[in-house]
Amino acid sequence: MKLFSCLMALLLFLFQAVPGLSLPRDTLHCLGYHGYCFHSKSCPEPFIAFGTCSRRQKTCCIDTTSNFHTCQDEGGHCVPPAIKCLEEQEGLCPHRKWKCCAEV
């Protein structure tokens, strides 16, 4: 019984010590963009859908009233890092390393 208690304590310590160890990749992606995971397939106002959470079981929603607007909302285009922008602009892209361009 003591061995089991020690193992459980070690497991809990690891989950607390390593951030994101127990979270799915899509949830970490959502949280990285300051998003929230909702159970419903549609986001309540003033949020907009920005992907999925919990292995595609929930919807990732970002707040449209914050400074974290999507690239398309700002009139831009999301492009991979290999493409050079003539003019970059503020805005979030669904892929973490992509950038938001006003003109390509």
Long-range contacts of 71-79 (CB under 8 A, 24+ apart): 71/100, 73/48, 74/100, 75/102, 76/100, 76/101, 76/102, 77/101, 77/104, 79/104
CATH of the domain at 28: 3.10.360.10
Residues 56 and 74 in one domain: no
59 DSSP 8-state letter = E
Residues 39 and 61 in one domain: yes
**How many domains does the chain divide into?**
2
Strands (E), the chain: 36-38, 47-53, 58-63, 77-79, 87-88, 99-103
10 pLDDT band, cuts 50/70/90, is low
Residue 7 lies in a domain: no
pLDDT of residue 96: 67
Residues 63 and 91 in one domain: no
| Residues 47 and 61: beta-carbon distance below 8 Å | yes
Q: Which domain holds residue 84?
A: 69-103
pLDDT digits (tens, 9 = 90+) for 69-84: 678 777 888 888 888 8
Residues 75 and 49 in one domain: no
Global pTM reads 0.48
Q: Is the dihedral of CA 15, 19, 21, 24 positive or negative?
A: positive
